Structure 1
């Protein structure tokens, strides 16, 4: 990118230079101006479960370690989340299912800025036993999911199988597999291939969410019988207490259950395993899962024993893991591994080395940023004049956002940091389960603590409308529009409110004077 020295030299000494060629203003001291940072905003729930860590937090940190890149992680209910979304060079929506995001995608396109949709599971196919099934059984959720993928400039996914499933919907697709941010040191093993005392039990383990309930139930009876014939083996399960019931008949000395906890707790527990299991039923949802179980086992020095299904297509059977198609094959592999400690060590070491070579997060961050920059280069701002409020929002410095917390030199987080934001989040939770009175109380508290928040005011208006408080609802919606004229939700609500009023008064007029309402009156 060429500078324009003649224009720079015309600036009075000691004054900031103009913003030329994408460069940030700086004091001219004979050196080139500092390049404007490339900003990425990732919007999501900011939780601590695996998906949050592998798909949001760790990629954000890796990208922020690249030169001249700033990354902001933003909670989807943070006070200024939509301001951050409009200001970013690239916006990544991490499974954010809200009709208001379509407004943001449209406004960003007007500004000439790309938006990316992150999809880590094919949730419309989620199994009935998964807690997420209730939400995704709603046809409206599926429509939002598909429409968001269609409207975004690109969609990024975890696996090739998921990319293939979404290909008819997405404008562009990129596969960014899960990676490891910090690889633990190699496990220390004794010369005979055992991890410690040769007399100890061989520990076989599985850990996961209740969403895997039927995957685990399918192998539980056969695994229980196998344990009774293998006194040197012990099974450990980490997860929901309901999963322990599948192994009620296993001898106590051969079974341990651990309640699920934060991801670091789970990863530390993996270090105590010798063999890690990953059973999966042959469902369309499971075909689109990631290979995170392999990644975690391999990084912990555990021998992976995995279902022969799409997520583990990259595993070399017998070299970096073992693949099974049915229960008979699973138990045969287990017998082999119990009898041959050297084989367990060899495969576990090969899996670890593969992850060390190919799956470190910092080694893949540049590819992700290159993809985002390519998207940015292909976008053009709208030709027609834009509203002044949208122009201001598109150029707002991200560092000016309230509550932005600095995590590293170029990594920031905008979370639910104020009582008002937490009341808003609690109101949304209550609204989703139909607790209208509780939701209204939470939104009222949010508005009382932060009267300038148009989101809280809008949702308070929705509660008032459902309670029949039409005048209060109208005032709330009009107040939200006055606070932020770029929001579409309160405007849509006002349109519905006025349409309902027009229909009501039309019926009243017809009752009073049918001739007039027929259109025949002079």
Structure 2
């Protein structure tokens, strides 16, 4: 692999080899290696005449290079400045693929990415790329079915594979007297581990030759409550350190609780275990069904079944060795990256005939390019420039800046939203233009209710305002809690405005909103006041009673809530629930 800082794009002498440009995060994580770096390096061996380039996702060259590459592949992209590039490529007859390899709609709350992935605006960004691309790559059947239900098409499953030629099994199988049973995973798998622990505590009590080996977050040892001499823990490290850890094991356990996020995982853990000569014990969940069926891997659907498997293999290590070798042979025969042609076949099917205009001055082969760093996205610069004009009380200039940005990237909802707000705040704003763009925005960004709120704020006719409010309440009913939470403050601010409070149906509108935000005490307080003013004394009494009951509880627990992460309790709860539900 080669890491290089490229020359200026102006000095590039384009060559005719087919150029595959993958815009990726160049780091050492499992996702980066399994999905971007290892497959690209292997692809260049399978097609030596191709120039396969992994360009860092922060490089400013990504826009120019993205336009001219024969095939552009974007990984987990939310770079809205790339959308015009995709559109221009389509005009030129060049294909673009995107890959999303997790269920970003429902991440576990204890995962480090949960905060970012709970943003509906991020979902909207991802969905735009999936809609605009010529194909969507996923890692397994779970994501395939999820995206299919959401009406995305041109879905392609590219499975993960073992990246190396495995060492001989006899060299991999540990020869020590103890039986090493292991688990490894990121914070996103914490609840899975917690559900496993009761089985492991019972096992090490009855089988003195077992050592429980773990690799992961440094907080893990505090949850184990096992004799220190029976446990070996390694802090999460590089992929090389991870594979070294796996090779030290006899048996690897893959617990996987029944969650929408887990259903969309890949089967890579089983592949990694088996390729390192480890016997995988797999929970019977969607991601592992095919692997279990094809490899004959031991599996369990309840913790009692796992207990029996563990006790059986602990009492008969030779049978564990024989089974591990069987599954190792399956991976060696069927799941090696060097033997896989799925990616090559997919990419080849999307390439145009004829000579390529691109090459970026690089010879055929595999290249990793960091590029020239760009401090921020182009649209963010536009928003900053417009804000400076607004701060200078020059709304006309701000509106022109934003309108130009929208004309260049009409799918950038941040720019569309900013322009509509700016233009709508100008006394001389073009109402016809606002109305037309709002209609388009509501069609294009169906779940982004900020545009509905702009429509309500700009509407002058009271009857239309009432109708728009009730339609908004209906739309809220179709959204999940994260989507509702994202717009609550804007909804409340507009509802409390003079225009809405003067409506005859204000109580009807307010009750419809309370139905969607039943735990929001600020809304309940304002509704209690409104009901009292309009003579609905019983409803006012009930709402004030709710406040009297709920507010002291919140106040008395404020200090505890501030120093405690809810994610911790969610992980403990899910771990216990998973352990009990499958007992």
TM, length-normalised to structure 2:
0.64
1:493–1:289: structure 2 CA closer, same or farther, 3 Å change rule?
A: closer
Q: Distance in 2 between matches of 1:52 and 1:246?
A: 29
Secondary structure, counterpart of 2:290 in structure 1: coil
Identify the residue that residue 422 of structure 2 maps to in structure 1.
500
Identify the residue that residue 156 of structure 2 maps to in structure 1.
174
Q: Which residue of 14, 35, 48 maps to 2:28?
A: 48
1:220 aligns with 2:231: no
Q: Does the CA-based 8 Å contact 1:203-1:234 persist in structure 2?
A: yes
Identify the residue that residue 263 of structure 2 maps to in structure 1.
287
Report which stretch shifted further, 58-67 or 165-174: 165-174
Q: Give the CA deviation at 1:225.
A: 2.3
1:110 aligns with 2:91: yes
* Structure 2 segments unaligned to the other structure (5+ residues): 1-12, 430-583
1:462 aligns with 2:444: no
Secondary structure, counterpart of 1:338 in structure 2: helix
1:299 aligns with 2:275: yes
1:152–1:460: structure 2 CA closer, same or farther, 3 Å change rule?
A: closer
1:329 aligns with 2:305: yes
Q: Which residue of 298, 308, 325 maps to 1:349?
A: 325
1:265 aligns with 2:225: no
Q: How does 1:431-442 map to 2 (within 5 A)?
A: none
Report which stretch shifted further, 342-351 or 128-137: 128-137
Q: Distance in 1 between matches of 2:130 and 2:112?
A: 23
Identify the residue that residue 412 of structure 1 maps to in structure 2.
367
1:469–1:264: structure 2 CA closer, same or farther, 3 Å change rule?
A: farther
Q: Does the CA-based 8 Å contact 2:295-2:330 persist in structure 1?
A: no
Identify the residue that residue 449 of structure 1 maps to in structure 2.
none
1:489–1:298: structure 2 CA closer, same or farther, 3 Å change rule?
A: same
Q: Give the CA deviation at 1:460.
A: 4.4
Q: How does 1:174-213 map to 2 (within 5 A)?
A: 174-188=156-170, 195-197=174-176, 200-213=177-190
Q: Give the CA deviation at 1:409.
A: 5.0
Q: Give the CA deviation at 1:491.
A: 12
Q: How does 1:216-255 map to 2 (within 5 A)?
A: 216-247=193-224, 249-255=225-231
Secondary structure, counterpart of 1:125 in structure 2: coil
Q: How does 1:335-414 map to 2 (within 5 A)?
A: 335-365=311-341, 367-377=342-352, 397-400=358-361, 410-414=365-369
1:98–1:38: structure 2 CA closer, same or farther, 3 Å change rule?
A: same
User: What do residues 21-66 of structure 1 show as CA deviations (whole Å, max 9, x unaligned)?
Assistant: xxxx99xxxxxxxx93222111121221111111100111111111
Q: Give the CA deviation at 1:494.
A: 10
1:125 aligns with 2:106: yes
Question: How many pairs does the alignment contain?
Answer: 412
User: What do residues 370-420 of structure 1 show as CA deviations (whole Å, max 9, x unaligned)?
Assistant: 322323459xxxxxxxxxxxxxxx9863415xxxxx7x85112221x55x5
Secondary structure, counterpart of 1:313 in structure 2: helix
Q: Does the CA-based 8 Å contact 1:159-1:290 persist in structure 2?
A: yes
Q: Distance in 2 between matches of 1:163 and 1:358?
A: 21
Q: Does the CA-based 8 Å contact 1:301-1:348 persist in structure 2?
A: yes
Report which stretch shifted further, 207-216 or 119-128: 119-128
Q: Give the CA deviation at 1:469.
A: 4.9
Q: Does the CA-based 8 Å contact 2:296-2:327 persist in structure 1?
A: yes
Q: Give the CA deviation at 1:289.
A: 0.6
Identify the residue that residue 440 of structure 1 maps to in structure 2.
none
1:338–1:494: structure 2 CA closer, same or farther, 3 Å change rule?
A: closer
Greater relative contact order: 1 or 2 (C-alpha under 8 angstroms, separation 6 or more)? 2
Q: Give the CA deviation at 1:132.
A: 1.7
Identify the residue that residue 64 of structure 1 maps to in structure 2.
44
Q: Give the CA deviation at 1:463.
A: 4.1
1:139 aligns with 2:100: no
Q: Give the CA deviation at 1:148.
A: 2.0
Q: Which has the higher helix share?
A: 2
Identify the residue that residue 470 of structure 2 maps to in structure 1.
none
TM, length-normalised to structure 1:
0.71
Q: Distance in 1 between matches of 2:130 and 2:387?
A: 31
Q: Distance in 2 between matches of 1:490 and 1:120?
A: 23
Q: Does the CA-based 8 Å contact 1:69-1:410 persist in structure 2?
A: yes
Q: Give the CA deviation at 1:99.
A: 2.4
Q: Give the CA deviation at 1:505.
A: 5.5
Q: Does the CA-based 8 Å contact 2:159-2:266 persist in structure 1?
A: yes
